[in-house]
Amino acid sequence: MIKSLDPRVTRAEIEIENPIAPLNELDQWETYEVFHQKKRGDQHMHVGIVHAPNAEMAFLFGKEQYGRRGFSVNIWVVKTRDVFASEYDDSDIFDTVPEKQYREAGGYKVMEKINKYKKGV
């Protein structure tokens, strides 16, 4: 038995030689992605993952892990395997977006035309 400086360890009556079977696959469960909202009106932000056996436990772990500091009003947890994500390798699918100036307010410049018109009048 370990005689420890830590009374909790001594009380737990632990053998110093205590080989154990290795943890099996999924011993630590699957993962959930956690989304956190700081205050009403804010977007929920992805903050990381937790390992959990079900959504309720994922919620509890998510609250402890990501909501124990500062402000929180809401948390979402989603199974990692339910997230459908794009691949970074395919990020060229977004390439033409910045070129589509007709979708942007900045793509419309009328002052030049107005000033020219006024001068001409």
Partner 1 sequence: MYGNAYIDPNDKAAAMLAGEDPQKLDAFEKRIAAGEKIEPKDWMPREYRKQLIRMIEQHAHSEIIGALPEGTWITRAPGFRRKLALMAKVQDEVGHAQLLYSAAETLGKSREAMINDLITGKSKYSNVFNYPAFTWADACIIAWLIDAGAIINQVANAKGSYGPYCRALDRICTEESFHLKYGHDNVVTLATGTQKQREMVQGALTRWWPPIMHFFGPSDKISNHTEILMRWKVKMASNDDMRQQFLNMYVPKIWDLGLVLPDPNLKKNDAGIWEYTEPDWEEFKKVINGGGPCNAERLAVRRNAEERGRWVREALNTSESKYIVPLA
Residues of this chain that interact with partner 1 (CB under 8 A) are 2, 4-9, 12, 14-20, 22-31, 33, 46-51, 53-54, 57, 64-65, 68-69, 80-81, 83, 85, 87-89
Supply the minimum distance, in Å, between the C-beta of residue 65 and partner 1: 6
For partner 1, the closer CB: 27 or 104? 27
β-strand partners of 79: 32
Closer by beta carbon to partner 1, 21 or else 114: 21
- Let me know the angle formed at the C-alpha of 120 by 117 and 121, rounded to the nearest 5 degrees: 90
Question: Token pair 């929180």 is at which residue?
Answer: 72
CB nearer to partner 1: pick between 38 and 46: 46
Q: Which of 44, 115, 116 is nearest to 78 (CA)?
A: 44
Per DSSP, the three-state class of 66 is: helix
Instruction: CB nearer to partner 1: give 22 or 41.
Output: 22
- Minimum distance of partner 1 from residue 96's CB (angstroms): 20
Mention every residue, 6+ apart, whose C-beta is less than 8 A from residue 3. 10
